[in-house]
Amino acid sequence: MGWFDFAAFVLASAAPATTLPPSDPPVLTAAEVAAVMQEGLPHRYDGGISMVAVAAVREVLVVTFDVPAAFTDDLDPEAIAREFAAGFCGIGDANLYFEQGMRVRVDTTVDGGAPVPGLIIDRCPAGTEGGGAESL
């Protein structure tokens, strides 16, 4: 599984088993998505980057990645947020999550240090499947 494709997989897994009428999009809360994602933690990616925490703070899904100190010159928190958004939005239903007023915040830690709050993503970036206007 690719760098941030795990998030897209988990979001798809969190979709309700029952379907609503076609006019009503499925309703997912940040807490429901967080609960599913927590089951796969920590999730390690190439290069020593790990998704280490997922939580819900009201309508915001907070995802925390731990990055090795050696990567901090090349991979800043904004770059991590953009990569995560691309993976998260790589599935067709990701826009529904944002259309319901949900958001995602991507925090980072360096070598297990204190989390640094990151960007809040409020829509899929342009160029991702079903993506809308650039918001990052």
Q: What pLDDT, in 10s, does the model give residues 70-104?
A: 877 777 788 888 888 888 887 667 777 888 888 99
> How many domains does one find in the chain?
1
Percentage of the chain beyond pLDDT 90 is 24
User: To the nearest whole number, what is the mean pLDDT of the chain?
Assistant: 76
48, part of any domain? yes
12, part of any domain? yes
Residue 116 is classified by DSSP as B
127, part of any domain? no
Q: pLDDT at position 71, please?
A: 77
131, part of any domain? no
Q: What is the CATH number of the domain that holds 69?
A: 3.30.300.250
The domain containing residue 34 runs over which residues? 5-16+30-121
Burial pattern 21-41, b for ≥16 Cβ within 10 A else e, equals eeeeeeebbbeebbebbeeee
Residues constituting the chain: 136
